[in-house]
Amino acid sequence: MATTETQTWQLIASTYRNQTTAKLPSAWLVPTSITSTISETSSQNVLEIPRTCGILTEKELEITEKYDAVTLAGLLARGGLSSVEVTEAFCKRAAVAQQLTCCLTETMFDEGLERAKYCDDYLAKEGKTLGPLHGLPVSLKDSFNVKGVKSTIGFVSFIANEPCTTESAIVSILLSLGAVLYVKTNIPQTLMTADSQNFIFGRTLNPNSLHLTAGGSSGGEGALAALKGSILGVGTDIAGSIRIPAYCNGVTGFKPSTRRIPYGGQTGPGRVGSWALLASAGPLCRSVSDAKLFCESVLSKDCWQFDETAISAPWRYLQPQGKRLKLGYIRELEGWPLLPTIARVFDTSLKALTKAGHQVVDLSPLLPKDIMVDAMVVSFKMFSLDPKKTPWQNIAKSGEPLIPSINTIVVDGLDKFVPDLDSVWEMNVAAKAIKEAVRDVWVKEGLDAIMMPVHQSTAPKHDHYGAPPYTVFANFLDYPSVSLPFLKANKKLDEPYIRKDVTYTPTYEPEAIEGAPGGFQILGRNMRDEECLEVAGVVESILRGV
């Protein structure tokens, strides 16, 4: 690579980054006494800094901290809070979060406040809301197109693209529901790894401990949500990209069944026309109720009118059953030992669920050996079907290098895989067999949901996340899945779970991950997003009592 070319992509990237940074109002800048301590090698927990840095008023702290989205939407609808004050609070807090974790890409503070004023005026004049998300600030992963704003998705070559002239389907729908848009959030170069780093905006840090990954690809959403700079954010997930960052940062994430929440009209890293494994759009938020609010609200619209690929299946309102649940679980994959923290988190969860009267059943002996790793291999082959390798072209065009995280995902046999048309047929047959095996166990056991880890470890240090067999399984099956936060790494409590007979990957470093959030996921059946959230809500309320 020629030096001038190197300088060129670096200059282009830094110029653009500086432009976005310059948009932060000077009154919202965090003192250098704080920013000077921010580094990707620091183990600092910055979650309290928005509260202590003096930028937000007491009321703004209350607005951003005290509620979940359901409650806040209710207050906005009743006029108990104005959208302008709520939006300003979240803009400020997002600006602070950005300075702590590099979680934003584009800011739309002025546009957001203008929109908030419109919402307030509408409510005052019409005596009714614009919709169920009236006046509520909603953050968006960078891939969602907003008119007049660029979607660079972390490719330096995309800086040359004009600001969007069209908007993603979900953006149109959110606006029609009354939402206020105010920030877009950071992602990894290629969107296909769990470290949200790129050479335009930098690397998103985990606010629980800056030297840990914030996860990805919706990593900016995860860090922003944990810092309470967003009350409802929209991410996308094709291998775990909503659930991984929700988990790494300690918030709730929901990956719906594909085509349920409109996905269309985004800027993607890959070739247009992909088909073998589809991605979902879904919320990162504070509670299962918030995830439900998001889905219910979106599906109150005729989504097909906004996105031809969205399936027309209205939200089903379930009657709470209060019944004894039967949860199948997969605790650990052979050769992928759970790190002590996650072993404790998982066993504690199982115990709490059993104690609350629900039934849990170990699915591992009932499923074909290695089924989840096999599913991951097929999934990653499905991700590799573009002979033109478009994402790499998007990188090569600017001369920027690859981010290191990309090469940390090692999937068996993938390096030798050369896709052709026959391989598509073969992987469809392989996929069908796996899907049927899981369905058979589900039906035979009469399950309400499947519970499994999000990952074998908590958020590890940057660039150590590795392959995601647990999360991609839900995408592969096209099952909805909720990632629920639960407990935190605690070296004293975790110690009894240390096993001497295994090699942990990533390495177990109790000091490094101390305080990192734990959690797990609850998978439902395809297209039974409603039941999945219902079960997750029951589990959430049990675990809140632990």
**Which residues bind to a copy of itself, rule: CB under 8 A?**
271-276, 304-305, 308-309, 311-314, 316, 385-388, 419-422, 424-429, 432, 435-436, 439, 443, 525-528
Report the SS3 class of residue 403: coil
Residue 297, annotated as binding a ligand = no
217 has binding-site annotation: yes
Tokens of 522: 């609850």
Nearer CB in complex with a copy of itself: 27/272:
272
Task: Provide the token pair at 68.
Answer: 């979940």
Active-site residue identified among 82, 139, 241, 257:
241
Q: Which is nearer to a copy of itself, 121 or 426 (CB)?
A: 426
Considering 92, 141, 150, 228, which one is annotated as catalytic?
141
Which of 465, 5, 34 lies closest to 245, judged by CA? 465
Check the annotation: does 238 bind a ligand.
Answer: yes
217 is catalytic: yes
**Rounded to the nearest whole angstrom, what is the least distance from the CB of residue 177 to a copy of itself in the complex?**
18
The H or E element containing residue 481 is: strand 481-488
Compute the C-alpha angle 474/171/94, nearest 5°: 85
Structure-block tokens of residue 501? 């007979």
Is 513 annotated as ligand-binding? no
CA atoms within 13 A on the CB side of 13: 22
Q: Is 384 known to be catalytic?
A: no
- Three-state DSSP at 262 gives coil
Residue of 143, 196, 217, 483 marked catalytic:
217
Instruction: Please report how close the Cβ of residue 436 comes to a copy of itself at its closest, in angstroms.
Output: 5
Question: What would you report as the CA-atom Rg of the chain, rounded to the nearest whole angstrom?
Answer: 22
Report the length, in residues, of the chain. 546
Q: Residue 219 and residue 241: Cα distance in Å, rounded? A: 8
Separation between Cα atoms, residue 256 and residue 236, nearest integer Å: 10
Q: Is 239 annotated as a binding residue?
A: yes
Q: Which residue has the tokens 């020629």?
A: 2
Shortest distance in whole angstroms from residue 141 CB to a copy of itself: 22
Residue that is written with structure tokens 């995601």 in the block: 468
The Cα diameter of the chain in Å comes to 69
Q: In terms of CB distance, is 447 or 522 closer to a copy of itself?
A: 447
At 90, phi and psi to the nearest 5? Answer: -75, -35
- 432 as an active site residue: the answer is no
d(CA 524, CA 480): 5
Cβ-based burial of 225 (10 A; exposed 0-12, middle 13-18, buried ≥19): buried
Structure tokens that stand for 452 in this block: 């499994």
- Region of 464 (left: φ > 0; alpha: ψ -120 to 50; beta: rest) is alpha
Task: Return d(Cα 362, Cα 296) in angstroms, integer.
Answer: 32
- The residue (of 57 and 305) whose beta carbon lies closer to a copy of itself is 305
- Give the residue with the Cβ less far from a copy of itself, 86 or 277: 277
Q: Which is nearer to a copy of itself, 15 or 305 (CB)?
A: 305
Angle between helices 371-382 and 469-477 (to 10 degrees): 70
Residue among 25 and 314 whose Cβ is closer to a copy of itself? 314
- Catalytic machinery residues: 141, 217, 241
Numbered residues of the known binding site for substrate: 191, 217, 238-241
